[in-house]
Amino acid sequence: MLKHLFAPSLLAALALSACQSDSKTDTAASRSDILRAALDTTVAPGDDFFTYANGGWLKQHPIPASEVSWGIGKEVQNEIYARLRQTSIEAAGANAAPGSNQQKIGDFWAVGIDSVKADKQAIAPIKAELDRIAALRSVAEVPAATAHLIPLGVNALVGPGVYQDAKNSAKMALYLNQAGLGLPNRDYYFNTDTRTKNIRRDYLQHLAKTFQLLGQDSVTAKANAGRVMTLETALARSSRKLEDLRDPYANYHKMSIAQLNKLTPGLDWKMWLTQLGAKADTVIVGQPEFYQTVGLLLKTTPLADWQAYLSWQLARTYSPMLSQPLTDEDFHFYSAVLRGAKSQRPRWKRVLDWQEEAMGEALGQLFVKEYFKPEAKARYENMVKAVSASFAEHIQKLDWMSDSTKKVALVKLQKITPKVGYPDKWRDYSGLKIDRSSLAENMMRANEFKFRYQLGKLGKPVDRTEWDMTPQTYNAYYNGSNNEIVLPAAIFAIPGLLDADADDAIVYGYAGASTIGHEITHGFDDEGSQYDAQGNLHEWWSKVDRARFKQRVNGIVRQFNGYTVLDSLHINGKATAGENIADLGGIVIAFDAFKKTKQFQENKKISGLTPAQRFFLGYALGWQSHQRDESLASRILTDVHSPAQFRVNGPFADVPAFYEAFGVKPGQKLYRADSARVTIW
C-alpha cells in the first residue's frame, strides 16, 4: 500500500545548499519560516485549513508547463534529480569496467540522452518485435506471443506476477490479475460524462495516429484503431472497479492448472506457463471472470484484431523512448489529454525515470552513501518506536474492541518490521546487459531482467529483507504479507530545511503523522486489518469487533463520499477508505506521541505558533501541492488516495485536538458536531 506521492520527513543531506548557513546564531524562530511563509492568513483555519496552511506557498509556486502537478514532493524530487543527473554524467565519462554498475549507469544515460540517435533509429529498436507479431499465422499463436511480450514490460492481455501467497506468506505464488487496457481503467470505457466521452474520442485518434507512425496508411491505421478499441472494451467490461479490487478475499482464488484450464476452455495454461518460463502447479487468480472473457475472446476474435492489439500495446510501452514523433504523440494523449500537461518534461528527467526503473538499487547505493547519514536514520527509527508505542496505548483504550481482539492487535503491532532508509543488502545487476545500442533496447532487457528475477522466486523461501522501493523513491508503503512498513531515505526530506533545524513539532506532523503513523495504521485499516501478525490473510477479529469496526469505516466512507472535488466529481469514499483511515489514524497517534516531547510540554511559541499548531501545520506541509483539473479528474477515477486538500481538511475535521489548537467553532466549514466525527483508532 503506497502512502502517497508527496510523503514527507526530514533528510538533512538533501536540504537545499542555499539554506546551509555558516552562522551559529540562527534562532528557532528564524528557522521556522517554512511554516509561517506558506500561510494564507486571508483564509480561516476552521474554514479551509489546507489553504490556510499552504495557500501562500501555492500562490508563489504555479505548476510548470511540463508538469501536471506541483508541490513539496516535486521540490524534493528536483533536488534528487540534480544529484542523480550528476552521478550519471560522471559515470558516462568514467570509462568504467565492463559489467560494473558504473558502466551500466553511464551507458544507460549516454544513449538515453541522445535524442538525435533516437530520431535516426525511428522504430528500429522495436521492429523485430513488430515483425514477430505480423508473422503470426493463427489465433492459436496469440497466447505464445503474449508470453513473449509480457517479460518485455508489455501489458499484453494477461497480468502475471509473483508475490507472497496472501494466505501463506512464507511462500511465493504466481498471481494472475486483470490487465491489458490502454486507458487507465475500466471506467474510462463506460462512463458517460462529457469529459470521459471526449477522452475516448481522443484515444481512438491517438491509436490511429500511432499506427500511422508505425508505417501504416491512414485507412489501415483507422481500422486497426477500431479493432483495438473493441477488444479493449470487451476486456474492460469484465474488469473490476477500483473499489472492488481492494477486497483481498474477493480477489483471491487459488486454482490448480487443471481448474484454470476449465475456467478458460481452449487456453492451455500449462503450455502458456512453460512459454512464459514459469514453473507453478497452482495459480492465484484475482478476477476469474476476466480470464473467462480472455478465453472467450481467444475463440471469437479474428487474428487481425489480435495483431493490431499486440502491436499497439508494444508501441504504447516503448513510444516514449523512440523517435520524437512517437514521443510527442504519446505525450499528447497520456500527459496532455489525460492529465493536462502543457509541455513535455525535459528529456534528462525522463531518462532518469527510466534509469530508476531499470536499475534503481544501483543508483540507490551511490545515493545513500553520500546523502543519508547515520544520525538521520537513527532519528526516524526512534520516531517509529515512539509512534508505535502511542498506537499501542490507543488500542488499549478502545471502547469498541474486546480485550481478546486487543491482545491479538497488540501482537500484530509489536511484530511490524520497520525498514528505514535503505536495505541491508543490494540487488545484484551482474546479469543485466546495458550498452549504448538504444534506450528502448536497454529498457527491454531491463524489463526482462526484472521479470525473470521475480519468476525466479517461485519455489524459493521468501526473502523478507527485500525492499520494493529504492532509497531515492519519494514514497513509503505498508506490506501486509510481510507486516512491515518501508520508509525510503528520500521520504525524509523538506527542501530548504536541515534536519537539525527542524523542531519536533514539524517532524512529528510532517513525518510522524503522514508517513510513519500513516503506514503503521495501514496494518489496521479496512484491508490491512484482514492480515494477521505473520502476514497471512486470516480473520483474527471477533465477529462483533469486526462489525463495530465496519460501522466506523462506513462513517469515513460517507464523510469522503460527500466531498465534491471538480464539477460533479466526488471522492470515491469506498475506494479511498484505506488511505483515509490511515491519514486519520496517523494524525491522532503521532499527535499523542508528540505530546510526550519536551517541546510540547514546555508549550513555547515559535514564530507565534504553539507546538500543537506547528504539528498540524507540519502535517499540512506534506500535502503542499496542487494539480491541473485534468490530472485531478483522472486521479478521482484511478487513485485510492484522496486529493491533497481533502487529506488535510477531511481527517482534521474529525480530530478534537485540531479544534482546540485553532479554535474551530460551530458555523465554520470544517466544523463537525461531536456525534458526526469519525473515531477509529
φ, ψ of residue 425 to 5 degrees: the values are -135, 150
* Residue with the three cell numbers 528505514: 420
User: How far apart are the C-alpha atoms of 145 and 153, rounded to whole Å?
Assistant: 13
Which cell goes with 519?
A: 503506514
pLDDT tens sequence across 241-267: 999 999 999 999 999 999 999 999 879
Q: Are the CB atoms for 341 and 66 separated by under 8 Å?
A: yes
- C-alpha gyration radius of the chain: 25
Residue of 160, 300, 286 whose CA lies nearest to 230 = 300
pLDDT tens sequence across 597-617: 999 999 999 999 999 999 999
Q: What is the pLDDT of residue 8?
A: 31
- pTM above the 0.85 mark? yes
Q: How many CB atoms lie within 10 A of CB 574?
A: 19
**Cα→Cα distances 90→16, 96, 184, 646, Å:** 21, 10, 37, 43
Q: What is the pLDDT of residue 649?
A: 98
Q: Which domains does the chain have, with CATH numbers?
A: 12-17+28-80+373-422+467-676 (3.40.390.10), 138-304 (1.10.1380.10)
Q: Is the dihedral of CA 447, 451, 452, 453 positive or negative?
A: positive
Of the pLDDT bands very low, low, confident and very high (cuts 50, 70, 90), residue 497 is confident
Taking residues 194-201, what's their average pLDDT? Answer: 97
> How many Cα atoms sit within 13 Å of 181 on the Cβ side?
20
Question: Do β-strands 564-566 and 477-479 pair in parallel, antiparallel, or remain unpaired?
Answer: unpaired
Taking residues 23-43, what's their average pLDDT? Answer: 68
Of the pLDDT bands very low, low, confident and very high (cuts 50, 70, 90), residue 567 is confident
Q: What is the pLDDT of residue 466?
A: 96
Res 56 pLDDT > 60? yes
Res 116 pLDDT > 90? yes
Region label for 62, one of left (φ > 0), alpha (ψ between -120 and 50) or beta (otherwise): beta
